[in-house]
Structure 1
């Protein structure tokens, strides 16, 4: 007989990169082994042999079970809206079979309660019983220009309720409202809004964004960049939950090119160049950030993917920032140089026009474009 000593509870939503231990016991001793059949979204994903740590018990950590197989959607702002995100949340069903070593036949089996894994990169505390929570946008205050985009993902646990997002200015004027249909369950949504067409009142200082579900609400503040020192730079970074978030800085931008020349020497002593590799180094200064704004710097420098517009095309740039200032006594304004690199003569597919002809900056960008 097989029994479950430790496993996720029914319908729990857990993070894939966090530790998830499963412990199985059996009344049968030596001469038997466990085989795990793992289904993702009701399709068989993997079969694993779970070795026993003693004659009766097997323990398995499911950390990053599906991490390499999640497909993040690389997109720049498309249109205003509130849309459900299902691609980074997967249903997990596991059946444990106990087999005889002698005959390889199944002598017993048990199904673990069905649960869900959400994509994440770095382990972080997550409580799926929380009614409303923003996913992977940590600064208490986010900076945005008057032509910027507000984009953020959030998680909701509803009981025959709607989720409503309301954007207001500091005078209490409602700028935008989006509401889901009534639903029951645990869902992830992404909210997008472009400030460009909005006519702002002269003394607008900030925006307040409220997410409401039932009696629970969560607020995120957006501070308006009013007097930029330089032209505002827009970048997108992939956050810890796999969503692409815009960030805006008004510091100085510096671009330097470096060349690596590969050549060989011919028999007559002359040198022949056969390849020149060109790499651009980007230094983006954040401009002055208040203490409640600066957490965005850490999110960008630890992000695995950052996008920046190069020659009017969005390109993936590699972060090369080695250290950031976390805190200093009596310091209230922070400015940080963020450094990135970009290989100018990288690989280009011959199927460029076939893959996505006539795409513009607001369309989804296939990964092939950015390598």
Structure 2
């Protein structure tokens, strides 16, 4: 008999980067082996031979089995509303066959309960039985300017019900409200909202975003940047769940360019330059952050992709921040330098249909171009 000893329960939603151990056992001993057929969204993804720990049992950890194949989408703000996200959630079906070593005949098969993987980069605790939860936005308070964008990904487990999203200022004024259709299941959504056209009350201090499903409510607070020390900078960073989150800082921006040249020696002994490389280092100071605001800095420093917007064109910048101040006694306001690098003069396609911003120079990097 071929038996599934350990596997995810039916319709569980798990994280791809977390450990997911499968344990299979058979009453057949030596002379047999296990072959696993793994389907993603009902399409055969991989066939694997699962080694046995002993003559009867095999254990396989599916950690990051599909990680490299998820297609993340750069989802910067486009329009207001709630949008279901299906591209980073995959249905996983696995059938295990036991075969004879001598002739590869299948002697018995067993199918695991169907479950789902969500994309994530770094392992973290996730409970799919939670009614509603925000995905990969850790600070209780996010900073936002008066013309900033809000992008919040969240997970909902509904049982013949809908959820509502409300966005209010600190006076209780309802700035936006949305609700979903009634459904049953476990789904991921993104909420988008643009503050630019909103006429704010005088002395507005903060905003509250509430997501409610059944009796469960989650709250995300946004503090308005009222008197910035420098022009506000906008950064999009890819969070642990593959969604691009905007972050805003009013600290000082510094740009440093460095040059290196490659040369060759001609027959007459004279050296000639055949290529000059130009690298830029961007240093953005976050400005003063309270303890409940500063977790965003760690998220950006550990993000695999960071985007800056210049002249209407988002560009990927490599994060090069080496260390962050974690804690200091009697310190309540934190300011941190974030550093990024960018190589100018990279590849540009002749089919690039947006000439503006196709090449960076210091003239592009005017403070007013950071926000639309």
| Structure 1 position 230 matched with structure 2 position 230 | yes
Q: Find the counterpart in structure 1 of residue 79 from structure 2.
A: 79
| Cα offset, 1:314, TM superposition | 1.1
Deviates further, 131-140 or 305-314? 305-314
Q: Find the counterpart in structure 2 of residue 38 from structure 1.
A: 38
Please state whether the residue corresponding to 1:117 is helix, strand or coil: strand
CA contact (8 A) 2:307 2:317 kept: yes
Distance 1:358 1:213, change over 3 A: farther
Q: Find the counterpart in structure 2 of residue 111 from structure 1.
A: 111
Q: Find the counterpart in structure 1 of residue 261 from structure 2.
A: 261
Q: Find the counterpart in structure 1 of residue 189 from structure 2.
A: 189
Please state whether the residue corresponding to 1:352 is helix, strand or coil: coil
Mapped partners of 1:126, 1:34: distance in 2:
30
Q: Find the counterpart in structure 1 of residue 369 from structure 2.
A: none
Instruction: List structure 1 runs of 4+ shifted beyond 3 angstroms.
Output: 357-361
Mapped partners of 1:47, 1:238: distance in 2:
31
Q: Find the counterpart in structure 2 of residue 325 from structure 1.
A: 325
TM-score using structure 2 length:
0.94
Q: Find the counterpart in structure 1 of residue 212 from structure 2.
A: 212
Mapped partners of 1:185, 1:195: distance in 2:
31
| Cα offset, 1:53, TM superposition | 0.8
Q: Find the counterpart in structure 1 of residue 368 from structure 2.
A: none
TM-score using structure 1 length:
0.95
Mapped partners of 1:341, 1:359: distance in 2:
21
Distance 1:181 1:223, change over 3 A: same
Distance 1:255 1:360, change over 3 A: closer
Q: Find the counterpart in structure 2 of residue 54 from structure 1.
A: 54
| Cα offset, 1:348, TM superposition | 1.5
Mapped partners of 1:89, 1:171: distance in 2:
38
Q: Find the counterpart in structure 2 of residue 141 from structure 1.
A: 141
Mapped partners of 1:101, 1:350: distance in 2:
55
Q: Find the counterpart in structure 2 of residue 165 from structure 1.
A: 165
Mapped partners of 2:106, 2:201: distance in 1:
71
Any stretches of 5+ residues in structure 2 without a counterpart?
359-372
Partner deviation per Cα, 1:328-357 (whole Å, 9 max, x = no partner): 11000000000000011111123323xxx6
Mapped partners of 1:217, 1:347: distance in 2:
47
Deviates further, 308-317 or 192-201? 308-317
CA contact (8 A) 2:205 2:224 kept: yes
| Cα offset, 1:253, TM superposition | 0.5
Mapped partners of 1:286, 1:350: distance in 2:
37
Q: Find the counterpart in structure 1 of residue 131 from structure 2.
A: 131
Equivalences for residues 267-278 of structure 1 within 5 A: 267-278=267-278
| Cα offset, 1:271, TM superposition | 1.8
Mapped partners of 1:360, 1:164: distance in 2:
38
| Cα offset, 1:270, TM superposition | 1.9
Partner deviation per Cα, 1:244-281 (whole Å, 9 max, x = no partner): 00000000001111111111222323220000011111
Mapped partners of 2:75, 2:57: distance in 1:
46
Mapped partners of 2:243, 2:225: distance in 1:
24
Mapped partners of 2:20, 2:295: distance in 1:
28
Distance 1:45 1:309, change over 3 A: same
| Structure 1 position 248 matched with structure 2 position 241 | no
Q: Find the counterpart in structure 2 of residue 177 from structure 1.
A: 177
Distance 1:188 1:359, change over 3 A: farther
